[in-house]
């Protein structure tokens, strides 16, 4: 069964350092999402792509976070500089249908900022 791939699974970094997360969605899924999940809470959308275009980045802290999906397939989320409050699980998801339908999640990257 096709899955969403994410790497790394775990990342420990010191504050002010740069970190990057990678996501490869299910083949054929044009819509890709990045979520942040703080421990004990539900995921919160950071950015949504349709192919290579950003369709929603209203909750992305643009002073330190950036995301790209250059060829409309895999995607990278970057944080520079990392802050203590960025410690969380970063989840990537993809969906086949644009605008509605279920989303398929990757295993996530657990980020710890020291």
Cβ closest to other proteins, residue 20 vs residue 89: 89
Instruction: Give the nearest distance from C-beta 45 to other proteins in angstroms.
Output: 6
Upper half-sphere CA count for residue 27 (Cβ side, 13 Å): 2
Q: Which of 50, 76, 87, 112 binds other proteins (CB under 8 A)?
A: 50
Q: Which of 14, 44, 51, 83 binds other proteins (CB under 8 A)?
A: 44
What's phi and psi for 93, nearest 5 deg? -140, 160
Distance between CA 92 and CA 94 in Å, rounded?
7
Contact 88, 80 (CB under 8 A): no
Residues of this chain that bind other proteins (CB under 8 A): 4, 6, 31, 40-45, 48, 50, 55-56, 89, 91, 93, 95, 97-108, 110
């Amino acid at each position: 069964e096709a899955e969403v791939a994410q790497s790394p699974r775990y990342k420990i970094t010191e504050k002010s350092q740069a970190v990057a997360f990678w996501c490869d969605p299910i083949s054929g899924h044009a819509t890709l999402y990045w979520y942040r999940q703080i421990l004990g809470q539900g995921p919160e959308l950071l950015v949504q792509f349709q192919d290579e275009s950003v369709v929603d980045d209203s909750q992305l802290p643009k002073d330190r976070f950036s995301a790209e999906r250059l060829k409309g397939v895999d995607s990278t989320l970057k944080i520079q500089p990392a802050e203590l409050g960025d410690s969380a699980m970063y989840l990537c998801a993809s969906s086949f249908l644009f605008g509605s339908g279920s989303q398929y999640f990757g295993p996530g990257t657990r980020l710890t900022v020291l």
